[in-house]
Amino acid sequence: MPKPFTLVWTETFSRTARKFFRKHPDLAGIFEDVLKQLETDPRAPRLRLHRLSGKHRDKQAVSLTYSYRIVLILCIRQEEVVLLDIGSHDEVYRD
């Protein structure tokens, strides 16, 4: 069985997630499922992991729902997933 990935919560992500879940408490269960999947296999098709471009070119994103994303950095060598941002498509890809 592959070694699990470690989730690294940045301060910014923690703060943004608190605000996000005050507005969207109904998504907390889905969020927990996504985090478990990220720990097990960040490349699982269900997450729809994809590389970002432009100013976010060193980052990836996964889908929380059709409308909401989690932006992250996937560090394969250190087996870490660094969580950076959560929100709607427009919110997480803003300048």
The DSSP 8-state label assigned to residue 4 in this structure reads: P
Question: Does residue 95 sit within a domain?
Answer: no
The structure tokens 């927990």 sit at 32
Question: Does residue 21 sit within a domain?
Answer: yes
Tens digits of pLDDT across the chain (95 residues): 667 899 999 999 999 999 999 999 999 999 999 999 999 999 999 999 999 988 888 999 999 999 999 999 999 878 899 999 999 988 888 76
Give the domain extent around 30: 6-87
Question: Considering only CA atoms, which of 92, 2, 15, 10 is closest in space to residue 42?
Answer: 2
pTM over 0.75: yes
Question: Does residue 58 sit within a domain?
Answer: yes
Question: Does residue 94 sit within a domain?
Answer: no
The count of structural domains within the chain is 1
Give me the sheet containing 68-75, strands edge to edge.
6-9, 80-88, 68-75, 60-63, 50-51
The residue ranges of DSSP E strands in the chain, in sequence order, are 6-9, 50-51, 60-63, 68-75, 80-88
CATH number for the domain that contains residue 60? 3.30.2310.20
